Structure 1
Amino acid sequence: MFGKMGVSFLSTFPSMLPLVPVPSLSATRYPTQAVTIRCNKMEAEICDENGFRRRDILKCIGATVGMELIASSGKFVEEACAADLIQRRQRSELLSSIKGTLSTAINGKPDLIPSILTLTLNDALTYDKATKSGGPNGSIRFSSEISRPENKGLSAALDLIEEAKKEIDSFSKGGPISYADLIQYAGQAAVKATFLAAAIRKTGGNEEKGKLLYTAYGSNGQWGLFDKQFGRTDAQEADPEGRIPQWDKASVKEMKDKFSAVGLGPRQLAVMSAFLGPDQTATETLLASDPEVLPWVQKYQQSRETVSQTNYEVDLITTLTKLSTLGQQINSEAYTYPPQKVDITKLKL
């Protein structure tokens, strides 16, 4: 009986036939034995006098099928890799254009930099760990949220972002940019502008030398992780009230408590001093009154006096990166679009 079953089964895999010795069809030469099959595993084996087992057949067939699947999947894998590269290039090109647009807008209104930084922070710090709600979701764009006391004076910064969004949406092939993304990247552009301005001051106001100094000593490469967080989703309503302090009226304890609530400590509070209201010097003076925050305030003040500002810049970028992802699920396929098909009939040889 097994001989007939073996021939019938193997006939569907012709490439296996030369490898598998098919036993004689004479049933009298083989013992009869019950077989129990569980989860495709043979608990009893049947073998002929030459020692050939059914398990051997299954192993050979499994190996052959596996090899055939791998061989046939080559084209699929290549196409998947190509599609992924196309999407990465699309997102990279759009992000580069977004940064250029924001940089131009901010350079035209540098007085709005403090407001842009606070806007970026306030949109992110609405995150609530207990309910996993809020965060950098663009909710600050709603009139009911931007008009709150903690967001007083930030409307002009939001207007700048609105204008930048119109321009970006006009050339984005993958759909409109989310406010959630744009607000965070506006914060990044504002940070870069402050470091570039500092480098220019250190070269006596020479813009060209300042750019060279920032390129040579700046920590621009530290933005890699921040740039990967591209694809935030917009909130459809304002975040709940009472989640953001009024920074210019808050005590150091209130500030510490708010940062602690999202997993940040005195170090991160000190490095974000420029984001906590329009007057960084006044904010740092207040923060320095707390013994836990004081060492970090001094550390970053000293770092800003150096040519590279490395300690200050790296810690600031790291903290902003964490804030910019609080509670967010990043859509890695956002802003991608089908590549244009080439009509080969119109190609000139």
Structure 2
Amino acid sequence: MVLVSFISTVPCLLPVVHSSTSTISRYPYHSTTIRCKIEAEVGNGDGLHRRDFLYCLGATAALDLVARSSYLIDVANAADLIQRRQRSDFQSSIKTTLLTAIKGSPDLVPSILTLALNDAITYDKATKSGGANGSIRLSAEISRPENKGLAAALSLVEEAKKEIDSYSKGGPISYADLIQLAAQSAVKSTFLASAIRKCGGNVEKGSLLYTAYGSSGQWGLFERNFGRSDAQEPDPDGRVPQWENASVQEMKDRFKAIGLGPRQLAVMSGFLGPDQAATEALLAKDPEVAPWVDKYQRSRETVSQTDYEVDLITTLTKLSSLGQTINFEAYSYPVKRIELGKLKL
């Protein structure tokens, strides 16, 4: 009997060798090892055919390549899961920091919303420039007339950034990300405050109401778009209206320029200057915008506020991704390897 053994690291079966004088027997393997045993009868002088030998050798080599590829894919998938967990944990910490900061300065909520809008709405489709790139932090941009009154909101973001950077393991957070996440936190704090009011000021009941009826699940795409880059120069001047002084037509034109319409303009009324009620009263005079203003006003009176909340989250998500290529590996970091030899058992 002639015996040829091959070892592969692939947990699958080898193809059958077609030969009238040889048989293949397969044995259970341990871990990921397979043994291929070729038995050939020596009778009649046939022995092990060279063709059979090469066939099995080639098949084993191919399976070894597949095994290595599968291993690399498994490693890549594991690394991806680790990165996702790191980014998710980091984002959760950021939200906690921002919510605490906003809770201490609730009067800045309208300014925080406008800060995020004005940073994003500089986007120009023709030149693919501007957008949610953090350029509003630069003195040449924050000092423009349309950004008057937003310095305090920017200061809150800057202070939050110092704290966030102190515990970040994957490098400093970009202003582009932080400004948009601050807007999200401001929106959530507003919805929570509304729920508490509907419960007669009872914080515990209000929080439970918001948890039960809120649209937190709608933030998925917004939170995935995490990894924006900061611009190093201010965006071109003249792209952002002075919202409190702008006509409805000017507002509509600006929203149209970035691919949004009357519906999105109405739902973003809380972002258009410091006085939402005054802005909505102005928008209600326009026949295209008025139906949406009425719809969202009625929605805010319901327990769930579903129409208003979902549309607001959807619009903010689109705005916050304008002009940005997201780095989905941002803020991830190498995992420290454990040296098993140094473990004390």
TM-score by length of 2: 0.83
Is residue 331 of structure 1 aligned with residue 327 of structure 2? yes
**2:66 aligned with 1:106:** no
Q: CA offsets per residue over residues 51-87 of structure 1, 9 Å max, x none? A: xxxxxxx999987654332122232222212111111
Q: Residues 253 and 75 of structure 1: is their aligned pair in 2 closer, same or farther, counting only changes over 3 Å?
A: same
Written as runs of structure 1 = structure 2, the 5 A alignment for 1:83-232 is 83-232=79-228
| Root-mean-square deviation (Å) | 2.3
Counterpart amino acid of residue 173 in structure 2: I
CA distance in 2, matches of 1:152, 1:14: 72
Give runs of aligned pairs for residues 292-307 of structure 1, distance below 5 A.
292-307=288-303
Aligned to 1:320: 316
More strand, by proportion: 2
Letter in 2 for 1:133: S
Residue ranges of structure 2 left out of the alignment (5+ in a row): 1-5, 9-13, 20-53
Secondary structure at the counterpart of residue 126 of structure 1: coil
Distance 1:151 1:19 in 2: 76
CA deviation digits over 1:89-148, x for unaligned, max 9?
110110000000000000000000000000000000000000000000000000000000
Superimposed CA distance per residue, residues 184-225 of structure 1 (whole angstroms, 9 cap, x where no aligned partner): 000000000000000000000011110000001111111111
Structure 1 distance, partners of 2:91, 2:291, is 37
Query: What is the SS of the residue equivalent to 1:101?
Result: helix
Counterpart code for 1:193: S
Pair 1:249 & 2:212 matched: no
Deviation per CA, 1:289-329, whole angstroms, max 9, x where unpaired? 11000000000000000011000000000000000001110
Count residues in correspondence: 303
Alpha-carbon distance in 2 for matches of 1:17, 1:328 = 50
Aligned to 1:72, the other structure's residue is in SS state helix
The yes-or-no answer on 1:237 pairing with 2:236 is: no
The residue type paired with residue 199 of structure 1 is: A
| 2:254 equivalent among 255, 258, 279 | 258
Residue 80 in structure 1 maps to residue 70 in structure 2: no
Q: Identity over the aligned pairs, expressed in percent? A: 73
Aligned to 2:22: none
Q: Does the 8 Å contact 2:137/2:154 carry over to 1?
A: yes
Separation in structure 2 between the aligned mates of residue 207 and residue 282 of structure 1, nearest angstrom: 28
For the residue of structure 2 that corresponds to 1:248, the secondary structure is: helix
* Residue in 2 that maps onto 1:346: 342
- What is the CA–CA distance in structure 2 between the aligned matches of 1:152 and 1:277, rounded to whole Å? 10
Aligned ranges 1:48-87 → 2 under 5 Å: 66-87=62-83
Return the alpha-carbon distance in structure 2 between the equivalents of residues 335 and 255 of structure 1.
Answer: 36
Query: Aligned partners of 1:237, 1:165: CA distance in 2, in Å?
Result: 20
Q: Please say if residues 15 and 59 of structure 2, whose CA atoms lie closer than 8 Å, have aligned partners that are also in contact.
A: no
- Mapped to 2, the partners of 1:191 and 1:14 lie a distance apart of 60
Q: Distance in 2 between matches of 1:118 and 1:166?
A: 22
Shift of 1:19: 3.8
Distance 2:82 2:327 in 1: 16
Contact 2:120 2:133 in 1 (8 A): yes
2:41 aligned residue: none
Task: Kindly report which structure 2 residues correspond to 1:261-276, keeping only aligned pairs within 5 A, or say none.
Answer: 261-276=257-272
Task: Give, in whole Å, the separation in 1 of the partners of 2:228 and 2:245.
Answer: 31
1:20 deviates by: 7.1
